A and B are shown apart, each in its own frame.
Chain A
Amino acid sequence: MEPILEIRNVTKRYSNHTAVSDVSITVPKQSIYGLLGPNGAGKTSLIRIINQITAPDSGEILFNGERLNPKHVDFIGYLPEERGLYKKMPVGEQALYLAQLKGLKKAEAKKRLKYWFEKFEMQTWWSKKVDELSKGMQQKVQFIVTILHEPTLLILDEPFSGFDPINAQLIRNEILELRKKGSTVIFSTHNMSSVEELCDHIALMNKSQKILDGSVKDIRKSHKNSIFRISFKGNLVGFTNAMWTSAELLDKGKEDDDVNWAVIKIAQDVKSSSLLQELLPIVEIVSFNEVIPSMNDIFISNVNKENNVVGTASALTE
């Protein structure tokens, strides 16, 4: 299947710095794609280029196989990080206006808005002015306005910032719904737990460059570092001795009155099953599983590696 978006060697420079540097990303259709990176990495600049708010200095972007052009604006939905609404304009009228700007006909927009207002239980807000709504209510309106024209590609910049947990959950569910209906979702965030929960692909940017991309599964697998967590009943010293050269003890603690846990790193040429066999006579194993690094850890270690920073997260000591 053709990717919905192909970003090829895009570069964007401003007078005193480069925001995006030779970035290439492929976004598969109907995926939920996470665009990650620290502040200032260039995510928002890249997003603005995709939305044709700015133009790249070099490189090109293909949308559904076609070179990105103004017609595509009607097929893309965008919720920017800095988002607001006209304060003195009534909600319903404003939503209609924004939907029409995206190419939707007024009658159709009205029908869909009614549907969404009912779904989110917002019917009474239709004629209220935006500044009469609470922040959470405004954000619901913003979200609806972004998806009303049923965009093929939905781009959300920090969608969860400022949303309370209930609304955040609402958004999460809608994102999954939209994907099921055929849309592709790109979202940029710092909220790593949502990345793990939702994304199937990610790209990690730092200092205007892409430093990592791929499916979440593959990335996490490739960052596996032979780290295991064992909880057991028995003597900790005996446990440590049994490991000897096979593994390195990274962390330990007590799970219960008689249950200890330890996080270990198995040596390169040792198989986990053989270690297990060595431990069995010494302690009573309660649980034994591999620790796959979280996206949070992967993020931090990769960015720090780029920045040559000493001191990394727990599961990825090198």
Chain B
Amino acid sequence: MGKIGLIIKREIMAKLRSKAFVVMTFLGPLLFAGFIMIMFYATKADKTEQNILVVDETQFFKDKLSGNDYISFTYSSKKLEDALTDLYKSDKSSILYIPNNLIDGAGGATKIFYKKTPGFAVQTYVKSQIEKIVYEYKLKANNIDPDIIHNAKQSVKLIMEKVNENGERAESLSDVASISGFLSGAFMFIFILIYGMMVFRSVMEEKTNRIVEIIISSVKPTQLMLGKILGIAILGILQFVTMSLLTIGLTTILSMTVLKDVQKDFTKFQKQQEQVFKNGATADLDNMDKMQDKLEAFDAIEKVRRLNFLEIGICFLFYFIGGYLFYSSLLAAIGSAVDTEADSQQFMMPIMLPLMAGYLIAVNMMMNPEGNLAIWGSMIPFTSPIVMMARIPNGVPLWQILASLGILYASFFGTVWLAGKIYRTGILMYGKKTSWREISKWIFYK
């Protein structure tokens, strides 16, 4: 094993020895899974049984309100005050009060008197039920057949299709693509930051505990710097792969057990979609409506499934390597030039600003996915890892990706060379307050 190999190994072992690192690797996916579970249960929680007693002063709504799988309506002839007194003696969960001036009069307010707060879904359901009944009644009262209105309303599906230079069309995934683009850009930002800072801190540690001079009497300073950067890169990739696998594993287990119902509904939805495409309008529309609230969610999931995951994954790997190497060598140079983390602030700024700029461009791209800012940002090596990742779900020509990667990797050779020169002088400097001028002189030392 060459000397760089020894250094890489030591760097990896030192981090693995730290409990915090190992814990985070496992905690991350667990937290993520927990988050999904909480989301799921939050929506499910609404499904506690609601037996609603209807006190209807208009006498109009009797038997007209339809329940669903957890909401049922019973009609009472009692007066409101009696019903209220009797509420806790009965097994009803709440009282729906409809005032007698609801339809014809000034439009009074309906009320729900509850023992325990019903969820938002219940409120929405009851409200929409009442509104629907009143609506249909008013139409009929004016001799308009509600079915005509219903059929006139047509939800129009808007499809975005990208045209390339050859006139070929490809359906794009627009909003889902924008969000996943932003997310991949954000992830890239976080990863480069975390691992770049690890390099920085490792350099500072060696300077602070004064071991660095002993080591550079055995290896060249650039070997030490590169070994450190590569070691942490391997660590980063390892952690990323572990966390990804864990997350995939956990979500698969979840979807097979707890989220089984969602999975079932989703498969039902997909089958219906197929039916509609095959049979057109003669498909079973009634069944469709029940899915209305979930329709958008399922549509989104469908789009997510159609994302170019392989392309995103491969590009993420290449851009992470390029971006990390680029930034970590700069951070290594700064780490070597200062004595304490406090001193480093003034030097960190110019390095952090372009990284943040990349992130901001990615945010901006949700509005404007293919503006000039995005294109330039995906080429300039400072911002390209983040911005290009944000562009990829929307489809980027291969030549642009290759050009951007080429520029990034060429720049990284430059930054490593530069950083090496600064590093090997900086690590031996103690106690001097450095300035940018001072550092630039070091580039020319032998």
Contact = CB atoms under 8 A, between A and B. Distances in A.
Contacts of B220: 70
A129 to B, nearest CB: 9
B210 A83 contact: yes
Interface in A238-294: none
Given A83-B210, A85-B209, A78 B217 contact: yes
A57 B213 CA distance: 21
B446 A55 contact: yes
A272 to B, nearest CB: 50
B372 interface: no
A83 B445 contact: no
Query: Chain A interface secondary structure, helix, strand, loop or mixed?
Result: loop
Contacts, number: 71
A212 interface: no
Contacts of A83: 210-211, 213-214
Contact of A57 (B7, B14, B218, B446): B446
B218 A73 contact: yes
Given A78-B214, A80-B213, A88 B219 contact: no
A102 B217 CA distance: 9
Interface in B160-189: none
Interface stretch (A61-69, A93-101, A199-207): A93-101
Interface in A17-68: 48, 51-57
B430 interface: yes
A57 B444 CA distance: 12
A142 B221 CA distance: 20
A87 interface: yes
Interface in A152-199: none
Given A82-B430, A97-B10, A101-B6, A88 B17 contact: yes
A202 B215 CA distance: 27
Contact of B210 (A56, A76, A84, A88): A84
- Chain A CB within 10 Å, residue with most, of B6, B18, B221: B6
A15 B441 contact: yes
Contacts of A89: 10, 14, 17
Contacts of B218: 73-74, 98, 101-102
Nearest to B444: A15
A14 B7 CA distance: 30
Which bracket fits the contact residues of B? Answer: 20 to 34
A76 B216 CA distance: 12
A85 B210 CA distance: 7
Contacts of B446: 54-57
A98 to B, nearest CB: 7
A156 to B, nearest CB: 12
A145 interface: yes
B3 interface: yes
Contacts of A84: 209-211, 214
Contacts of A80: 210, 213-214, 217
Nearest to B3: A101
Interface string B213-232: 11111111100000000000
Nearest to A99: B218
A145 B217 contact: no
B245 interface: no
A145 B214 contact: yes
Interface in B413-433: 428, 430
A85 to B, nearest CB: 6
Contact of A51 (B3, B14, B18, B217): B217
Contacts of A98: 214-215, 218
Contacts of A97: 6, 10
Given A82-B430, A97-B6, A14 B214 contact: no
A51 B209 CA distance: 20
Contacts of A88: 14, 17-18
Contact of A14 (B6, B205, B445): B445
Nearest to B7: A101
A150 to B, nearest CB: 15
A14 B211 CA distance: 23
Query: Across chains A and B, which 8 residue pairs bring their CB atoms closest together, nearest first?
Result: A84-B210, A101-B218, A78-B217, A84-B209, A55-B446, A80-B213, A51-B217, A82-B210
Interface of B: 3, 6-7, 10, 14, 17-18, 205-206, 209-211, 213-221, 428, 430, 441, 445-446
Given A52-B217, A76-B217, A78-B217, 5 more contacts: A54-B445, A73-B219, A86-B211, A98-B214, A101-B3
10 contacts: A52-B217, A55-B446, A84-B210, A85-B211, A88-B17, A88-B18, A101-B3, A101-B219, A145-B214, A146-B214
